[in-house]
A = this chain, B = another copy of it.
């Protein structure tokens, strides 16, 4: 299928591009920034700013993709939860979808978020039965967009799926986020004061995540699908695995107070992903964590200006 990927140079989108190319799709990868062309010849790169209405219309009219995986959104760490840019991205997404369908688009997969759910419960979050009650502007915008797409798809016969993404990690993650920050701290000799690490999350490597979204596109599943590992991992266990990898015993759990107001447990029910899409992660979580640590170290030592190495 001829598939347009948005946010194609981003943390998630770049892995979606790879996965789709491996699955023999003809990929049109789009991003605001020019991409170095040392990649698979199956991928055609296009520069476009989706926040510019004209760019969206020109791109879709020219390329007429049959498939669309829409990953682009504002994800500036610490800011994106309640930034006004969420309104611009919701608007751009609506324009893109309307234009996609009007130009012959057939099937779309959109990156949703676990933040659409109410995070106050303790049970694994289920696409059908769990309460939707987003607590951030980001979650509200994604959830509102999903409501519109769901109703609209039933009018237009557009085939659609909505991947609710949990906690992705891996190569390319922004340095301000938990795992890269921790790896940076582990690489020094310093003691690392940490909270109790009791919060439980559903981590999925971004490489697996990219393939999961591609698998959803290839499936005939309609509607919402959780994209997670389904593994309940405490932050403490995750940090410990990375520390062991780094041969470090300098993480001091309980040395600082726990953050206030953080949801105790955010875990995906992955039955739909597993049995309807027919997808499971390619490697176990502990292997992916080890790979991430290894990749982080090799990136650091290859840095031309790394005066510490």
Contact = CB atoms under 8 A, between A and B. Distances in A.
Identical copies in the complex: 2
Interface stretch (A140-148, A182-190, A216-224): A140-148
A106 to B, nearest CB: 15
B94 A98 contact: no
A interface residue count range (under 10 / 10 to 19 / 20 to 34 / 35 or more): 20 to 34
A101 B84 contact: yes
A88 interface: yes
Interface in A143-174: 143-145, 147-148, 150-152, 155-156
Interface string A125-153: 00000000010110011011101101110
Interface in A180-203: none
A84 B141 CA distance: 19
A141 to B, nearest CB: 6
B152 A148 contact: no
A91 interface: yes
Contact of A148 (B54, B95, B97, B137): B137
Nearest to A147: B144
B102 A95 contact: no
A58 to B, nearest CB: 13
Interface in A255-287: none
B95 A91 contact: yes
Given A53-B52, A87-B97, A94-B88, A151 B147 contact: no
A245 B93 CA distance: 50
Interface string A70-99: 000000000000101011101110110110
A148 B87 CA distance: 8
Contacts of A97: 87
A84 B152 contact: yes
Contacts of A152: 84, 86-87, 137, 140
A113 B53 CA distance: 27
Contacts of A156: 84
B137 A143 contact: no
A155 B87 CA distance: 12
Nearest to A98: B87
Given A52-B53, A87-B152, A91-B98, 9 more contacts: A84-B152, A87-B94, A87-B98, A88-B95, A91-B91, A136-B151, A137-B155, A140-B147, A144-B148
7 contacts: A53-B53, A86-B152, A88-B95, A94-B94, A140-B147, A140-B150, A141-B148
Closest 5 CB pairs of A and B: A144-B144, A91-B94, A91-B91, A53-B53, A140-B151
